[in-house]
Chain A
Amino acid sequence: MISIKNLNKYYDYKRVNQTHALKDVSLTIEDGELTAIVGNSGAGKSTLLHILAGIDDFQSGTVKVGDKELDTMGPMALARYRNRTIGIVLQDFGLIEGVSIMENVMLPLRLGSPMSHGKKKERVMKALDTVGLSDMAKKGVHKLSGGQRQRVAIARAIVNDPDYIFADEPTGALDSETGKQIMGLFRDLNKKGKTVVIVTHDQEIAGACDRIVTVKDGRIK
């Protein structure tokens, strides 16, 4: 379960240009849910997702993802959390250019897993199979289309078999048809038991989710 209580996030904290991005946000997401977070530009939805993903900090409140309390974790524990507990998918894919699909997907395993290289390869192939790219493992990512790149990003997010997948505008850079295919992938992952949280401003994508949470001016509506 994801549990957020009285979360406050400021940008440029304690400076003259301080911005209160999230105001006393409280939210609960049950395990196995497919949730969309929607809202206008600058509403704070991406900020909320980045906090859940452990890549942004906050000033007050509590954030609990599964049994991990993010507000009490140090840098090492947070790094382990990002590596093992969750998977992140970004609008811009966030792939390392100049290396193969295999290397990109294997990255989280390289950073945190003690398993043998053969086992890691096996896990990568399984993840690539899930996203339908197992026959392209050795291809460089620069040769892929936008949809294929997002599939690689999803494969990387699931390679460590995390319980939670956080996606920030995952279809924002794709055409609607490809967007639907990617959304289908998230739905499949959700069916396999993953808790998926997607930030989107696309109503069609949001409509395909089990639950819609709206963020407006830093508050949950």
Chain B
Amino acid sequence: MLYISYLRTFKNIFKYLLISVLTGTMMFICVTLYTTYEFQSARYTPFKERLDGKGHLIYTAGNYICFSNTPIQNEFRRKYPKVSSISYTLTDSIQLTGLNNVTLYGYDDEICRYRPYLSEGRWFDEDHKEGCISAVVTPMPYVGTDRKVKAGDVIEYEDRVTGEEIDIYVTGVLGQGASYYAPNKMTRDINAFKMYSLVDQMTDPIVIMSDTDIFRFSDARASYQAFIRYQDDITEEEMEQYRDRFLSEEMATGVESFADIRTRTKDVILLKIGSVLPLAAVSMAFILIAVICAAILNSISEIRDDAILYMSGMTTAKITLSMTVQSIGLSAIGFTLTLGLAAYVRTKTDRLLFELGGPQILLCLAVVAVFSLITMLIKYTVLRKNSAVSIIRKADT
């Protein structure tokens, strides 16, 4: 049976190459579409749980209140007894040797669920150097030189309070256009996506490390954004009272409810889906038509040879099975072409949204399954409904 599949394929190598290219293109489109969807929704992931339930995001700009100061936090909890938890990011502004002032951010595991695009290197928890704090940085130059900070560099710092020498090992550099969580950002009508800043030419130097490492910097303090979660039994009226008191008692310069942020975030997601829906629908239609065309081409073009195989002693079931083996083989070539195309495009641009995760592999398998199934069905139906001789006669005329 494998020989028959081999014979068919190498007899019409160009036709089968075309079919492989078609199936490969389908897989490429599927993987790219899904990766784009994943990429778009990934920035919401770190905030999904944080914004769940009842709560307020408050902006503590001007440091009226600093939650990393334990007495202040205790006082806050005493004044607002319905508060169940407070989440914030530690940040600091320091002068590193050879560099301009930089801002440090200490990301916790939740924030790290979204990993921005790096132009070089790896995320800080994937690379370590003995005695150093691992960090990723935005693109920044060394003062007075043309040299830029790159992955693998070690930057020195001496803590002005403790005098401790801290070495920062740069594991990666954020790429132009990458989004990173900016916990000091204050924006009206905020949603989960607006909590990010884009890396561009004007970006202030940022150094991102883990929330456990940033504690070594004695001036590290809570960011301007704080997520205040309340107990489940808090009423709407109480939440409104809390909001008013935060503002009137100058605890915060702005307050947004979690519910409002969630609603705005969902609106943005719907808007994004709406904007890509026509493209996705056209792509899906193209994929379906291409799958059917490839399957028809694959099954009908060989039907004459199938009739000869049937006459020579093969059963319809075996012919169909050999076709399936061939379809899977062609799809495998198509998959390899997809990977090759992705690798080629990556040499031209490093912003290709093509990642092979579990769902993407499932999508590729679905393309293989649909392609093989349609091929099988056409083949089986034609062979069952027509005699071998009539198939050969029709094919020859």
Q: Mark A68-79, 1 if CB is under 8 A from B, else 0.
A: 000000011011
**Which residues from chain B contact A103 at a C-beta distance below 8 Å?**
7
Given A55-B387, A56-B387, A96-B308: A111 touches B396 (CB 8 Å cut-off) = no
Given A90-B389, A92-B392: A55 touches B3 (CB 8 Å cut-off) = no
Q: Which of A26-34, A81-89, A208-216 contacts B (4 or more CB under 8 A)?
A: A81-89
Q: What is the CB-to-nearest-CB distance from A173 to chain B, in angstroms, rounded to a whole number?
A: 10
Q: Which chain B residues in 340-397 approach chain A with CB under 8 Å?
A: 387-389, 392-393, 396
Q: Mark B315-338, 1 if CB is under 8 A from A, else 0.
A: 111100000000000000000000
- Measured CB to CB, the nearest residue on chain B to A168 is B389
> Does B313 touch A at the CB level, under 8 Å?
yes
Residue of B12, B305, B310 near A55 (CB, 8 A) is B310
- Measured CB to CB, the nearest residue on chain A to B311 is A88
**Which residues from chain A contact B313 at a C-beta distance below 8 Å?**
79-80, 82-84, 108, 111-112
> Does B188 touch A at the CB level, under 8 Å?
no
Residue of B309, B387, B388, B389 near A111 (CB, 8 A) is B309
Q: Which chain B residues in 287-319 approach chain A with CB under 8 Å?
A: 305, 307-318
Given A79-B313, A82-B312: A98 touches B389 (CB 8 Å cut-off) = no
Q: Are B315 and A46 within 8 A (Cβ)?
A: no
Q: Are B308 and A95 within 8 A (Cβ)?
A: yes
| Whole-angstrom CA separation of A120 from B307 in the bound complex | 22
**Which residues from chain A contact B305 at a C-beta distance below 8 Å?**
96
Q: Are B315 and A76 within 8 A (Cβ)?
A: yes
- Measured CB to CB, the nearest residue on chain A to B316 is A75
> Does B147 touch A at the CB level, under 8 Å?
no
Q: Are B387 and A83 within 8 A (Cβ)?
A: no
| Whole-angstrom CA separation of A156 from B3 in the bound complex | 18
Q: Are B392 and A55 within 8 A (Cβ)?
A: no
> Does A50 touch B at the CB level, under 8 Å?
yes
**Which residues from chain A contact B11 at a C-beta distance below 8 Å?**
96, 98-99
Q: Which chain A residues in 152-186 approach chain B with CB under 8 Å?
A: 156, 168
> Does A25 touch B at the CB level, under 8 Å?
no
Q: What is the CB-to-nearest-CB distance from A172 to chain B, in angstroms, rounded to a whole number?
A: 11
Q: What is the CB-to-nearest-CB distance from A218 to chain B, in angstroms, rounded to a whole number?
A: 17
| Whole-angstrom CA separation of A168 from B308 in the bound complex | 14
| Whole-angstrom CA separation of A99 from B7 in the bound complex | 9
Q: Which chain A residues in 30-51 approach chain B with CB under 8 Å?
A: 46, 50
Given A55-B387, A110-B3: A75 touches B317 (CB 8 Å cut-off) = yes
| Whole-angstrom CA separation of A94 from B303 in the bound complex | 12
- What secondary structure prevails in chain B residues at the interface with A? helix
Q: Are A98 and B12 within 8 A (Cβ)?
A: yes
Q: Are A111 and B312 within 8 A (Cβ)?
A: yes
> Does A107 touch B at the CB level, under 8 Å?
yes
Q: What is the CB-to-nearest-CB distance from A62 to chain B, in angstroms, rounded to a whole number?
A: 20
**Which residues from chain B contact A96 at a C-beta distance below 8 Å?**
7, 11, 305, 308
**Which residues from chain A contact B315 at a C-beta distance below 8 Å?**
75-76, 78-79
Given A56-B387, A95-B308, A103-B7: A111 touches B314 (CB 8 Å cut-off) = yes
**Which residues from chain A contact B317 at a C-beta distance below 8 Å?**
75
| Whole-angstrom CA separation of A103 from B11 in the bound complex | 12
**Which residues from chain B contact A84 at a C-beta distance below 8 Å?**
313
Q: Are A82 and B393 within 8 A (Cβ)?
A: no
Residue of A46, A55, A75, A107 near B388 (CB, 8 A) is A55
**Which residues from chain B contact A80 at a C-beta distance below 8 Å?**
313
**Which residues from chain B contact A111 at a C-beta distance below 8 Å?**
309, 312-314
Given A92-B393, A96-B308: A50 touches B316 (CB 8 Å cut-off) = no
| Whole-angstrom CA separation of A78 from B307 in the bound complex | 15
| Whole-angstrom CA separation of A106 from B369 in the bound complex | 33
| Whole-angstrom CA separation of A98 from B393 in the bound complex | 18
Q: What is the CB-to-nearest-CB distance from A38 to chain B, in angstroms, rounded to a whole number?
A: 18
Q: Are B312 and A50 within 8 A (Cβ)?
A: no
**Which residues from chain B contact A95 at a C-beta distance below 8 Å?**
308
| Whole-angstrom CA separation of A219 from B50 in the bound complex | 86
| Whole-angstrom CA separation of A41 from B393 in the bound complex | 15
Q: Mark A94-125, 1 if CB is under 8 A from B, else 0.
A: 11101100010001101110000000000000
Given A75-B316, A79-B313: A46 touches B308 (CB 8 Å cut-off) = no
Q: What is the CB-to-nearest-CB distance from A216 to chain B, in angstroms, rounded to a whole number?
A: 21
**Which residues from chain B contact A82 at a C-beta distance below 8 Å?**
310-313
**Which residues from chain A contact B312 at a C-beta distance below 8 Å?**
82-83, 107-108, 111, 156
**Which residues from chain B contact A92 at a C-beta distance below 8 Å?**
392-393, 396
Given A82-B313, A88-B311: A50 touches B389 (CB 8 Å cut-off) = yes
- Measured CB to CB, the nearest residue on chain A to B395 is A92
- Measured CB to CB, the nearest residue on chain B to A110 is B3
Q: What is the CB-to-nearest-CB distance from B202 to chain A, in angstroms, rounded to a whole number?
A: 64
Q: What is the CB-to-nearest-CB distance from A141 to chain B, in angstroms, rounded to a whole number?
A: 11
Q: Are A55 and B311 within 8 A (Cβ)?
A: yes
Q: Are B308 and A94 within 8 A (Cβ)?
A: yes
Q: What is the CB-to-nearest-CB distance from B89 to chain A, in angstroms, rounded to a whole number?
A: 67
- Measured CB to CB, the nearest residue on chain B to A76 is B315
* 13 A/B residue pairs, CB under 8 Å, sorted by A: A50-B387, A55-B310, A55-B388, A75-B315, A79-B310, A79-B318, A88-B311, A92-B393, A94-B308, A95-B308, A96-B7, A96-B11, A110-B3
List A residues at the B interface (Cβ < 8 Å): 46, 50, 53, 55-56, 75-76, 78-80, 82-84, 88, 90, 92, 94-96, 98-99, 103, 107-108, 110-112, 156, 168
9 tightest A-B contacts by CB?
A: A83-B313, A98-B11, A79-B315, A111-B313, A108-B312, A55-B388, A75-B315, A82-B313, A92-B396
Given contacts A50-B389, A88-B311, 5 further A-B contacts (CB under 8 A): A55-B310, A55-B389, A92-B393, A98-B11, A98-B12
